[in-house]
Structure 1
Amino acid sequence: MPVTLHSHSGQFCRHAHGNLEEVVRTARRKGFRVLGLSEHVPRYRTQDLYEEEVSLCGMPDVQGTSASDLTPEDLVNIFDEYVATAKRLRAQYQDDQFTILVGAETDYINEESLSKAVQLRQHHHLDYLVGSVHHLREIPLDFSQALYNQLLATCGGDLEVLFGEYFDAQFHMLQALKPEVVGHFDLCRLFAPRQHPLCHTLTPELQAKVCRNIDYVQSYGGMVEINSRAYKKNLPRAYPQPDILRIILAKGGRLTLSDDSHGPDDVALHYSVVREYLDEMGVNKVAYPLPCKEKQPANEISTVPVAWVDDVISHPFWSGLL
């Protein structure tokens, strides 16, 4: 019953495709027992809108009419509609063989983005958060090679500076939100030069930051996702890469699985390769959060309640993907 706790749809995310119900139906058909829905939280400033949100070229909006440029207020309304739709789909499709968790993927752009995420969790009674960092110095780090290069230039071209700031930003996000799931732990490597040593092995200083972050996640019972979307982005392994995954395993940290799907065609994408990665690294069990039973701000969580999938490598789920 391998799980996926990180998903998006074109209905609520402009760089994804398909609608949310198609994602749910595909996950159920492929044999998932636990599906986490995690559309992006809103961004609250016009300057933080993505390219496809300000030049939509006649794309249909959520209601199916011709769309113009979005505003931050539109993103808030879209997120509200996402939560309502996700809860309706949960009522329609969930049964004793298929659990749907309603969550959100957060971001850390500035302090407001963190405080707003806490408020959204409380307001919408979300089951869980995927805590991610997509920006550094208020520049997107995973949107395009050009923007990554721009970010790297502001760091004096020093990749170690960029990585260090990324892991520091991640730590600050973890402290503010205590997300149940840590999203694509080493996303800072996505557009880094593949031949650079830091793409494979971190310096002792960076390793210390990673260990600090992992220790903090363990302190409240959070999980680090093994995220298969890295393969679609032509990385050699899923997030996190082996050097970081070894640290998590050595510390006894909790792991979970995610496809980070951006539409129904991405559901379980590269999961067969993820199974090989799990086997290679000696991962024999993964966790997933239990549904939220009471409203509680994310930053007040003491211990994340989870269920476990033991002997995950030999689970019959995988045979259905071959």
Structure 2
Amino acid sequence: MPHSHHSHSGQFCRHAKDSLAAVVSRASERGFTVFGLSEHAPRYREVDLFPEEADLSPAELEAAYTAFLDEAGVQRAAHPELNLLVGIECDAITALDSARLATLLADERIEYVVGSVHHVRGVSIDFDRGTWLRAVRAARRGVDETTMVRRSGELVLVPPDGDDVLAAEYCPSEEEMRPFLEAYLDAQLGVLQAHQPEVVGHFDLCLLFAPEASLKSVWDRVERNVRYAVGYGALFEANAAALRKGWMTSYPSPDVLQLILALGGRVCLSDDSHGVAAVGLNYLPMREYLVAQDVKTVWHLVRACDARDGDHKVGNRGRVVARPCVGWEDDAFWETFKATM
């Protein structure tokens, strides 16, 4: 103990901070034994970039991810005390993302995939609330939009168009949310089926800006996706980032977490850190949440070359296996972890 399967660094992600070396060093200082490096997959259209990336091209994002794989190898050699895993966090904006991910995964340095969905109908759902509301509106209208647009030669965030639906105080109704939630969960299923990600990333990120909203209207899709991922042995991350973004719990929310457990799903830990300050951030309240939800076992990934009896298959790539950790909540780590805060 402990483990994290999801992290980013400012060296390879413009909305993160600090070098990869600094992030890995902090993980070692905090007593992590398993730490996953999962920089974002490149995006392949300029309209899918973010404001902080407006000076970059999609080709430069591809080059950055390749450079990350090189640096991850350097960090693994420099930190034998850590079980560093090298991965990629994917997305599902258009069919192009899935096709290019399949090509990237031919590189066996990529040991696992964090399967995430950050866009609905082409629009980012976790950049800010206004952009999230645009995605909700686009889904309700049944149209595809983009996060960015080129205007007067500059790549800029698509601005609100004055529609009341984008007002800061506006909260979509359950009926207005339903097409958005359906589109999100259908995209998530597409990622699961196409790539069998070893880790299912922040399952209910779709509710980031509406944590009080219910998935009841789309529960059939929620259960469908959970069953599919359980079927190939995926790990569902308990992601502490929700707590720093204003949630009272980590992802996934209680109803989803209980469904995962009831269907035999495996839970793993992730900090989704975006720099040194977020390594292990909110792990103690996440532990309390998972204990209260009666999570008896957490799992972590292990490189296939280090597999042993009792490990379990996960997905179809065969580069990692899953290992159970029973009694995780009483591990001595939790006391020593407090001393590193």
Question: 2:111 touches 2:320 (CA, 8 Å); kept in 1?
Answer: no
The answer to whether the aligner puts 1:118 opposite 2:102 as a matched pair is yes
Return the letter of the residue paired with 2:218.
L
Q: How does 1:53-64 map to 2 (within 5 A)?
A: 53-54=53-54
State the partner residue of 2:206.
188
Question: 1:222 touches 1:304 (CA, 8 Å); kept in 2?
Answer: no
State the partner residue of 1:234.
246
Say what the alpha-carbon RMSD is for the aligned residues. 1.7
State the partner residue of 1:79.
65
State the partner residue of 1:89.
75
State the partner residue of 1:70.
56
How far 1:303 moved relative to its partner?
10
Q: In 1, Cα distance between the equivalents of 2:260 and 2:320?
A: 17
- State which drifts further: 298-307 or 280-289: 298-307
Question: 1:8 touches 1:262 (CA, 8 Å); kept in 2?
Answer: yes
State the partner residue of 2:168.
none
The answer to whether the aligner puts 1:309 opposite 2:325 as a matched pair is yes
Question: 1:130 touches 1:183 (CA, 8 Å); kept in 2?
Answer: yes
How far 1:301 moved relative to its partner?
3.6
Q: Greater RCO between the two (CA within 8 Å, min separation 6)?
A: 1
Q: How does 1:1-322 map to 2 (within 5 A)?
A: 1-54=1-54, 69-95=55-81, 98-156=82-140, 158-192=176-210, 194-196=211-213, 198=214, 202-203=215-216, 205-292=217-304, 300-301=316-317, 305-322=321-338
State the partner residue of 1:64.
none
Question: 1:132 touches 1:184 (CA, 8 Å); kept in 2?
Answer: yes
Question: 1:176 touches 1:299 (CA, 8 Å); kept in 2?
Answer: no
Distance 1:236 1:116, change over 3 A: same
Return the letter of the residue paired with 2:113.
L
Structure 2: unaligned runs, 5 residues or longer: 141-171, 306-313
Distance 1:14 1:181, change over 3 A: same
Distance 1:149 1:18, change over 3 A: same
Deviations 1:160-208 (A, max 9, x none): 221111111100110011000000000000012x554x1xxx22x5111
Question: 2:299 touches 2:324 (CA, 8 Å); kept in 1?
Answer: yes
Question: 1:220 touches 1:302 (CA, 8 Å); kept in 2?
Answer: no
Distance 1:318 1:299, change over 3 A: closer
Deviations 1:116-166 (A, max 9, x none): 112212124311110000001010011111101111122335112211111
TM-score normalised according to structure 1 size: 0.88
Question: 2:197 touches 2:234 (CA, 8 Å); kept in 1?
Answer: yes
Q: How many residues are paired up? A: 296
Q: In 2, Cα distance between the equivalents of 1:283 and 1:209?
A: 23
Q: In 2, Cα distance between the equivalents of 1:208 and 1:94?
A: 45
4+ runs of 1 displaced by more than 6 Å? Answer: none
Question: 2:304 touches 2:319 (CA, 8 Å); kept in 1?
Answer: no
- State which drifts further: 173-182 or 207-216: 207-216
- State which drifts further: 7-16 or 279-288: 279-288
Q: In 2, Cα distance between the equivalents of 1:28 and 1:107?
A: 28
How far 1:317 moved relative to its partner?
1.1
Distance 1:6 1:224, change over 3 A: same
Q: In 2, Cα distance between the equivalents of 1:317 and 1:302?
A: 29
